[in-house]
Amino acid sequence: MLIHDLKLIKQSSIRMHDSGDFFNQAYLNAWIAAMKQFPDKQFYAYTKSLHLDYSAKPDNFQIVQSVGGKLDHLIDTSKSHSRIFADDAARIAAGYEDGSKDDTTAQFGVIKIGLVYHGKKNLTENQKVTFS
């Protein structure tokens, strides 16, 4: 089913998981196998599933490590990663590029991607400190 669906996509760049993540190694491996069949397409994903083995990932797969999970200690900040900020001023002060307006930063391997919080709930005081 996945291969059939990917054949129907016309875009050259495909973001996996608008919400969600790689929930286990078998699921990641299935995606890796599918991506290898479409070397002309660029795949990218934000992930907090840093415990999984990405060593077989093809060159057309860009991983963006997402800060804010239980495995943050595994994040390699010399590689593409994203953080959520309370506002643009905090993002700019921390030296992160704007990833809120489009996904160009994620698709092409920008190292420090800043996303401004856009939820419907107001941030708690603790979240404001965390996202600063």
pLDDT value at residue 98: 96
pLDDT value at residue 50: 96
* Cβ–Cβ < 8 Å for 2, 30: yes
pLDDT value at residue 130: 63
HSE, side-chain direction, 13 A CA sphere, residue 108: 6
pLDDT value at residue 11: 87
Computed over every residue of the chain, the mean pLDDT equals 90
pLDDT value at residue 2: 75
The parts of the chain modelled with pLDDT lower than 70 are 1, 119-121, 123-132
pLDDT value at residue 8: 86
Q: What is the rounded CA–CA span in Å between residue 30 and residue 81?
A: 23
Nearest to 67 by CA among 112, 126, 103, 35: 112
pLDDT value at residue 52: 98
